[in-house]
Amino acid sequence: MSTATAPARGRIGIMSALPQELAAVLALMPDEHRTTVAGRDFWPGHLAGHEVVAVVSGIGKVAAATTATLLLQRFGVEGIVFTGVAGGLGDGVRVGDAVVATALLQHDMDASPLFPRHEMPGYGLSRFVPDAHWQQGLSAAARRTLASLDALLTPQAIREFGLHSPRLHTGLIISGDRFVATSVESTTLRQQLPDALAVEMEGAAVAQVCHDHRAPFAAVRTISDRADDAAHVDFVRFVTDVASHYSAHTVLDWLQHLPPPG
C-alpha cells in the first residue's frame, strides 16, 4: 500500500540521521534558520523554490519516528524524503552506488508466533511502499547525480573510495536498531530477506509514520560499505566527502523537477 498517490504541493521535510549527511543540503538553502524542538535542530527554509524543513533525526528507529512525527505535526510538512548512507546487501550493490527504496521493512521486527516474522502488528503487512511519484522522481534525480560524479567529488575521493561507474538500484531497503558490521550478520540478513538491497537504521520507521499520516515518503541511500567486517573503516570520511554531496545534489535535482507549489 502506497503512502500517497500524488506529490505534495506544500512544505517538504528533508531528513538525515547524521549531521554530516545533511551538511551539504543545508549549505544550499539560502534562508535556513535553526529552531530546536525536543532536542532536535530543524531548519525551515527554501530549496529550489520549494518550502522545506531539514532536520537531523539522530540514529535509530525511535529517533527517526519521533522526528518524522514532529515534521508532520509541528512543522506541517506534507511529506518526507530521507537521505543518507546504508550498508549494501544485494549482489552487485557496491560502495558508491545509490539505492532508492521501492519498499521498506523492519528486519528486527519479530512478534512471532502471534504474527508472522517481520509483519507489523495491527497493520497486516511487513513492507511499507513509498509514494510512487516521489520514488520515480528521486530515482531519476539519483541517476543524474551518479552521471555527474566528476563534477561533484574531488579526484582524490573518487580514487580513494574506488568510485568507478556507480550504479542506481531500486528495491527493498531494510531497517533495524543495530549497525550491521560483520559478515555473519549481513549473511544472515541476506538469507532471511534475499531481495534486500541495503540495510540501515531509520527508513522503515519513517515510512510507517508517513503511512499512518497518509503522507508521501521516499528514501535514497548512498552505499558506504558492504555491511561486513570492514563497515566502520573510513565511514565518517566517506559520509563527509561523498555521501553528503550525493544527497545534496540528488535532493536539489529532485526538487527542481517537482511541480512548484500550487
Catalytically active residues, by annotation: 21, 225
Closest CA to 128 of 212, 201, 14: 212
Cell of 58: 539522530
Per-residue exposure over 163-196, b if at least 16 CB sit within 10 Å of its own CB, e if not: beebebbbebbbbbeebbbeeebbeebbeebeeb
Rounded CA separation 4/79 (Å):
9
**Cα–Cα distance for residue pair 147/149, rounded to 1 Å:** 6
CB 168 within 8 A of CB 146: yes
CA angle centred on 92, ends 88 and 97, rounded to 5°: 60
